[in-house]
């Protein structure tokens, strides 16, 4: 049986649960959505046990820094999101979007060399198991509206404002 190291973090946008396996973050989820994410992890890894630890994969420390204003703090957290080859391509492109910037789903599809796969890019974005660290909140609709976000639009709006606030020179 595999052990997941898990911690809860209270953030300005609500409680988050972080889970790591072998020193790599495999889930970062809003607490209300954690039971669903935990079932997905069990499907991915087989039977899992949960061990509460203070700072899985350094994610809690990175989240503290991020919410304190160090917009690039999450980039240093090692991740193991799993996913299909296509999802991993989308997620790798998301990580390249700098804090304070956004891309449309169409621009993201073009960035991974799949310009006609806009819907598939949106689905991969929504399947991201490592919210914030893989910054799916930085993707918006082509018309500039926020589009969807698993954590809710209020949280997406907050995150984008938080990151933009640090980009003023």
Task: Classify 151 as helix, strand or coil.
Answer: coil
Domain with CATH 1.10.10.10 in the chain: 85-165
Catalytic residue among 136, 139, 150, 160: 136
What is the DSSP code (8-state) at residue 98? P
| pLDDT tens, residue order, the chain (169 aa) | 899 999 999 999 999 999 999 999 999 999 999 999 999 999 999 999 999 999 999 999 999 999 999 999 999 999 999 999 999 999 999 999 999 999 999 999 999 999 999 999 999 999 999 999 999 999 999 999 998 898 999 999 999 999 998 664 4
Delimit the CATH 3.30.160 region(s) of the chain: 2-76
Q: Is 136 assigned a catalytic role?
A: yes
E strand intervals along 105-168:
139-140
CATH topology of domain 85-165: Arc Repressor Mutant, subunit A (1.10.10)
For 2-76, CATH gives 3.30.160
- Scored b (16 or more CB within 10 A) or e, 71-93 reads bebbeebebbbbbeeebebbbeb
């Amino acid at each position: 049986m595999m052990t997941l190291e898990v911690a809860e973090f209270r953030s300005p946008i609500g409680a988050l649960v972080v889970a790591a396996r072998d020193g790599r973050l495999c889930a970062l989820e809003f607490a209300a959505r954690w039971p669903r994410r935990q079932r997905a992890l069990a499907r991915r890894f087989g039977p899992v046990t949960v061990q509460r630890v203070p700072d899985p994969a350094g994610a809690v420390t990175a989240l503290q820094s991020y919410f304190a204003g160090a917009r690039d703090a999450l980039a240093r957290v090692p991740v193991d999101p799993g996913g299909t080859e296509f999802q991993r391509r989308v997620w790798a492109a998301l990580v390249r979007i700098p804090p304070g910037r956004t891309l449309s789903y169409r621009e993201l599809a073009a960035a991974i060399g799949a310009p006609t796969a806009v819907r598939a890019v949106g689905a991969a974005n929504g399947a991201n198991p490592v919210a914030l660290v893989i910054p799916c909140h930085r993707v918006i609709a082509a018309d500039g509206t926020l589009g969807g976000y698993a954590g809710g639009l209020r949280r997406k709006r907050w995150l984008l404002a938080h990151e933009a606030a640090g980009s003023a020179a």
